[in-house]
Amino acid sequence: MPPIAQRLREPAAFVLLAFGAISTLFHTITFLFGPGEDGLSFSNRALLGVTLLLSVEVTAALLGAVWLAHVTGQLKTAKVITLIALIAIAAEDLFGVVALFSSFGADEAPTPDANGAAFGSGWGKTQSFFVSLAQLAVAGIASWLILNYFQQHNPRPVQGYGQPPQQQGQWGQQPAPQGQWGPPPQQQAPAPAPQGQWGPPPQQQAAPPPQPQWGQPQPPQQDADSMMTQAIPTVPQAGQPQQQQQQQPPQQGEGGLPIGNWTAE
């Protein structure tokens, strides 16, 4: 694009946008309310205004304004221009459809219509319907193009390289954090408190002894029987004293032999 055209790109876009938006506004007001047209019914106004509402010139002006705002780089006001054009062409499509079907109820008049046929005649209504239907198809394509331009201003977040697509979790599950692969983490329920048991408390297992390093003597190992014997305390039998009295050796007296606690002389 030449430099002078690049400088005039934004003003030209606003001029085309103003022409399309203002034309759509006044054609809609004339179709709905009919100011200055005394004696015309709603159907008669629809037959007169359907070709003006769906005018190809208005549709081309709105689409041209959006195209100038995005060609060879977006303008700073590209989003505003696209939004206004989208609203204007949506109103054109909506009221154009209403006027298209409302024109079938127009009354006959000796004056010609916009297409040159007798106003309100059968041939005039048929001709106006098909011409307006073709204009509506052109406006629909332009609406789709303008909508695609508008969606460029709201891009979706780009995922990083190597990250899996986000998956929607099921009901009751927390979504997995972005950047991690796998199912969402599940919260573990707290373990129930241990109920009381009848009998002695369980004994904790002793940790195994550390293995000696290379070159050091190994400590003496005890077999399982000796460890069990040491762990089980001895219980004295009934009828026996807990402590055995130590027997003292008898003292030998002079001149006699010890017999029990008596000495024989």
* Confidence at 200, pLDDT banded by 50, 70, 90: low
State yes or no: pLDDT of 48 exceeds 80. Answer: yes
Cα(254)–Cα(265) distance, rounded to whole angstroms? 8
Query: One-letter amino acid identity for 226?
Result: S
Q: How many CB atoms lie within 10 A of CB 140?
A: 14
Mean pLDDT of 167-188: 53
Write out pLDDT tens, residues 149-166: 999 887 665 555 555 555
Kindly report each contact of residues 1-4 with a partner whose C-beta sits within 8 Å and lies 24 or more positions away, as own/partner. Answer: 1/71, 1/72
Write out pLDDT tens, residues 17-29: 999 999 999 999 9
Mean pLDDT of 233-250: 50
Cα(37)–Cα(47) distance, rounded to whole angstroms? 13
229 vs 127, more confident: 127
Map tokens 């694009």 to a residue: 1
pTM: 0.56
CA–CA distances in Å: residue 243 to residues 170, 232, 236, 240, 261: 73, 19, 10, 8, 22
What is the token pair recorded at 257? 């032999």
Answer for the pair 82, 150: CB distance below 8 angstroms, yes or no. yes
Most confidently modeled of 1-10, 183-192, 235-244? 1-10
Mean pLDDT of 89-102: 94
6 vs 161, more confident: 6
Write out pLDDT tens, residues 78-87: 999 999 999 9
Domain map (residue ranges) of the chain:
3-151
Q: How many CB atoms lie within 10 A of CB 130?
A: 10
* Confidence at 125, pLDDT banded by 50, 70, 90: confident
Percent of the chain with pLDDT over 70: 52
Answer for the pair 96, 138: CB distance below 8 angstroms, yes or no. no
Res 126: pLDDT: 87
> CB-based burial of residue 105 (10 Å sphere; 0-12 exposed, 13-18 middle, 19+ buried)?
middle
Chain mean pLDDT for the chain: 73
State yes or no: pLDDT of 235 exceeds 50. Answer: yes
